Amino acid sequence: MLHRIYFSPGMFGFGRLASYDYFVHVERAIGDALRERGDDVATWVVDVAPTASVRRRAARLAELVAHTCEDDNGPVHLVGHSTGGVDVRLVASPGVRLPCSDAELGWLPRLASVTTLSTPHYGTPLASFFATVSGQRMLYALSALTFIALSLGSPPLAAASALVVAIGRIDRAIGLDLRMLDRATDGLLRVLDDARSREVRTYLDAIRQDQGAIVQLTPEAMELYYANVRDRPGVLYQCTASMAPPPSPLAWVRALASPWATLSSTIFTTLWGLTSRYDERYPCRAQPAGEEVESALARAFGRPPSARANDGVVPLRSQLWGRVLWAGFADHLDILGHFDGGPRPEGEPSHVDWLRSGAAFDRQRFVAMTRAIAAGMIAGARSTK
């Protein structure tokens, strides 16, 4: 059986940018797990503006599937990380109206599974912050740091520090701040070759020009999404549920051994604090989650996680949709394989722990999670067939 798998990136993410593949680890691991079971795999990553409207992103995904999905009646699987999970659910929703032709949705009867990784199904408080002036600068800077840290291992400390300083300036000097932000970003881009610098600059400009998804991912806006988007009958929906330990002074002291680790840990602490904000009117969670889900969470964490538990970007309880295929300690990027992987087999891309969260996510957990994803895809394909 040939499984066609389509990946949709998230808020800080990208598909393939300047020869670096954001999904390189999880795409490879899921593919290997399916091939071990005797199946064939073909994968694609949708190229979307990271913060564009969810509806526009979903249309791009639908078009990609339509143009690459040959008429052989084999199963189609959608995988979305972070915002990408919101995209894939929208594409799969019965009666969806997207800015694409009906013919470009003709493959939907072949859809076997929808997998969402660290997805804000009920919104995230971080999106509310990113909608502010300060938040827009922080989103821009974090996107630059994410790409450069993942592709280089760690960016030059001086340039990275300047970028962090630029996003922390007070709003009344917004014109000066944006110039500082551009200079700091240019300092990071100079460590790349010209071709890659141009690609990354285009990617960052797209974030500045279209931030529709940021408003759409606020807890208030996601109430409308929840009310209108439905699961497609016969399709398997599965998700991961992860959280990082609350930042502590001890964890920060341990990070002092490395200047870059200190900076990364400080950034994560800020993100975790913003994401842990809680509003009883918009609680970013399903009520109730259900006995089966609560039992899975209690097994994974020793007790049911609180409403403030999060992975640094998305509250844990906002990540719950469908069957919980894996739950455990991990931050928002660990789930994709961006963690400290230690020595790796020859030919395997390096793992980079860009967000120092203290979650201690490792290769064993990553393999267990990706194998569970693959098993769900097989089950979904059998059900569809």
Q: Which residues contact 150 (CB under 8 A, 6 or more apart)?
A: 20, 22, 338, 352, 354
β-sheet bridge partners, residue 207: none
Query: How far separated are the first and last CA of the chain, in Å rounded?
Result: 11
Spatial distance between the Cα atoms of 192 and 151, rounded to a whole number of angstroms: 10
Spatial distance between the Cα atoms of 170 and 296, rounded to a whole number of angstroms: 43
Spatial distance between the Cα atoms of 312 and 138, rounded to a whole number of angstroms: 14
β-sheet bridge partners, residue 2: 40
Task: Quote the pLDDT of residue 173.
Answer: 44
Higher pLDDT, 209 or 256: 209
Task: Quote the pLDDT of residue 274.
Answer: 92
Spatial distance between the Cα atoms of 197 and 192, rounded to a whole number of angstroms: 6
Percentage of the chain surpassing pLDDT 90? 56
Burial class (CB in 10 A: 0-12, 13-18, 19+), 144: buried
Task: Quote the pLDDT of residue 174.
Answer: 43
- Average pLDDT (39-60) is 92
- Average pLDDT (18-41) is 91
Percentage of the chain surpassing pLDDT 70? 86
pLDDT, tens digit (0-9, with 9 covering 90-100), for 155-180: 666 667 766 666 555 444 444 455 65
pLDDT, tens digit (0-9, with 9 covering 90-100), for 270-315: 899 999 999 999 999 987 888 999 999 999 999 999 999 999 999 9
Spatial distance between the Cα atoms of 242 and 297, rounded to a whole number of angstroms: 9
Spatial distance between the Cα atoms of 189 and 110, rounded to a whole number of angstroms: 42
51's tokens: 């913060």
* pTM tops 0.85: yes
Q: Which helix (H) or strand (E) holds 327?
A: strand 323-329
The yes-or-no verdict on residue 32 having pLDDT over 60 is yes
- Average pLDDT (334-357) is 82
The yes-or-no verdict on residue 57 having pLDDT over 70 is yes
CA distances from 6 to 58, 70, 74, 95 (A): 12, 14, 14, 21
**16-17/20-21 β-pairing:** antiparallel
Q: Which residues contact 385 (CB under 8 A, 6 or more apart)?
A: 75
DSSP state of 80: E
pLDDT, tens digit (0-9, with 9 covering 90-100), for 76-113: 999 999 999 999 999 999 988 999 988 899 999 999 99
Higher pLDDT, 56 or 16: 56
What are φ and ψ of residue 265, in 5° steps? -65, -40
Task: Quote the pLDDT of residue 181.
Answer: 61
Confidence class for position 137, pLDDT limits 50, 70, 90? confident
Task: Quote the pLDDT of residue 16.
Answer: 75
Mean pLDDT computed over every residue of the chain: 87
Task: Quote the pLDDT of residue 177.
Answer: 52
Higher pLDDT, 210 or 298: 298
Strands (E), 103-261: 111-117, 236-243
- Average pLDDT (104-127) is 96
The yes-or-no verdict on residue 41 having pLDDT over 90 is yes
Task: Quote the pLDDT of residue 61.
Answer: 96
Contact status, residue 37 vs residue 380, Cβ threshold 8 Å: no
- Average pLDDT (170-199) is 64
